[in-house]
């Protein structure tokens, strides 16, 4: 029972994204389908496809929203912290807490693998790079003698490391995988890397 | 057209696992279904369920084989290397090369998330821990003053870090994600961590 002309294209777009977000939050990435989204908002699947060319396009939008929310929480975690080590630990911990509090949305952002013929939009790639840029920005004062390339390498290695701890903890691949242990490990990684980088 | 009594239970088990491995290698984790496996070996889906209770049980078996193969390649990479740094870099690079050469099988080992009511078998958990134990073993000579708990934390942080670089590179979430860049980043992480740990 599709509804016609009740909503503008932009309203529809938002309804679709919100409904998809709710489905992913409840049922995970594998639980999402265009059919379920259509049924949730009372439109036909055909109408959905007029707004999003395919499920990958919808997932890009959904994941961009997740990464925007993540970025906001990473920045917020820095408040009141001055020392580089404290700041880097704060964003690492905020990253892990975000992943645990938004489990399915976070996993969806990393498990979405579009088919090879569906290119990742530039605005999506840009958002992925932003969290690395945050790490570069925070590493810079700690490594005043590093040039841009060295900073980029250090930040990529460090931030990928935090991501690895987070994802293995979330999927129970670490010995003990509570959020406290992941935060401890990430703090240890940040501290040890910083020591090594400064040497 | 199910075949009857042509194969022993053990033969069937192997046929199922090989067929599933082939499907995953070609079509990825999301391409696997009990129906496809049954059709590939010419048995009914019902016969499959006599051997594997569900698709998760089959995936545990498949992933255990992937991790066994990985372990073999990690150990092989150590040949002729004496220095701790060289040995840790060798297994990090071997890990990344294995992931790239066995892309879909490796991703399946990490993307398989069994439902909460399906417990991970002990022999599977043990295999996951083995690659961390390898890292502990290789770190030990480099950190002669570290106790067991410190070694465990250092190895978990280091090995999760290598995993993070590997998985972000494989899924195009790093700035440049060729295998060479992932190997370079992992080498940088290992070297910097070792410097920091020794400080």
- pLDDT over threshold 60, residue A9: yes
For chain B, percent of residues with pLDDT exceeding 70: 96
Q: Which of B30, B129, B196 sits opposite A196 (nearest CB)?
A: B196
Please name the residue that has the structure tokens 């908002």: A41
CA distance A80 to chain B (A): 27
pLDDT of residue A26: 94
- pLDDT over threshold 90, residue A128: no
Tell me the average pLDDT of chain B: 91
ipTM: 0.90
* pTM greater than 0.95: no
Q: Which of A157, A172, A194 sits opposite B165 (nearest CB)?
A: A157
A175 and B132: CB-CB below 8 Å? yes
Q: pLDDT tier at B103 (50, 70, 90 boundaries)?
A: very high
Q: Which domains does chain B have, with CATH numbers?
A: 1-52 (1.10.10.60), 65-198 (1.10.357.10)
What is the number of other CB atoms lying within 10 angstroms of the CB of residue A186?
A: 28
Measured CA distances, B165 to A60, A69, A162 (Å): 22, 23, 10
Residues composing chain A: 199
CA distance A68 to chain B (A): 16
Q: What is the pLDDT of residues B43-77, one digit of tens each?
A: 999 999 999 999 999 999 999 999 999 999 999 99
pLDDT of residue B122: 87
Query: CA end-to-end span of chain B, whole Å?
Result: 67
B/e letters for B19-31, b = 16+ CB within 10 Å, e = fewer, are bbbebbeeebbee
Please name the residue that has the structure tokens 């958990």: B125
pLDDT of residue A116: 79
- pLDDT over threshold 60, residue A2: no
- pLDDT over threshold 60, residue B146: yes
Cα separation of B108 and B91, whole Å? 21
């Amino acid at each position: 029972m599709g509804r016609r002309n009740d909503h503008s294209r932009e309203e529809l777009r938002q309804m679709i994204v919100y409904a998809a977000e709710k489905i992913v939050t409840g049922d995970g990435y594998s639980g999402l389908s265009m059919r379920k989204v259509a049924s949730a908002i009372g439109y036909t699947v055909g109408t959905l496809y007029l707004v999003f060319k395919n499920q990958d396009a919808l997932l890009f939008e959904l994941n961009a929203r997740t990464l925007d929310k993540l970025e906001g929480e990473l920045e917020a975690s820095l408040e009141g912290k001055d020392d580089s080590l404290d700041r880097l630990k704060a964003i690492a911990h905020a990253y892990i807490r975000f992943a645990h509090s938004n489990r399915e949305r976070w996993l969806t952002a990393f498990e979405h693998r579009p088919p090879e013929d569906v290119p990742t939009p530039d605005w999506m790639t840009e958002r992925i790079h932003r969290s690395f840029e945050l790490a570069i920005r925070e590493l810079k004062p700690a490594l005043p003698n590093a040039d841009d390339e060295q900073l980029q390498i250090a930040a990529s290695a460090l931030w990928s490391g935090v991501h690895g701890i987070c994802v293995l903890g979330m999927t129970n691949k670490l010995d003990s995988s509570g959020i406290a242990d992941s935060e401890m490990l990430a703090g240890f990684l940040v501290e040890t890397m910083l020591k090594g980088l400064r040497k």
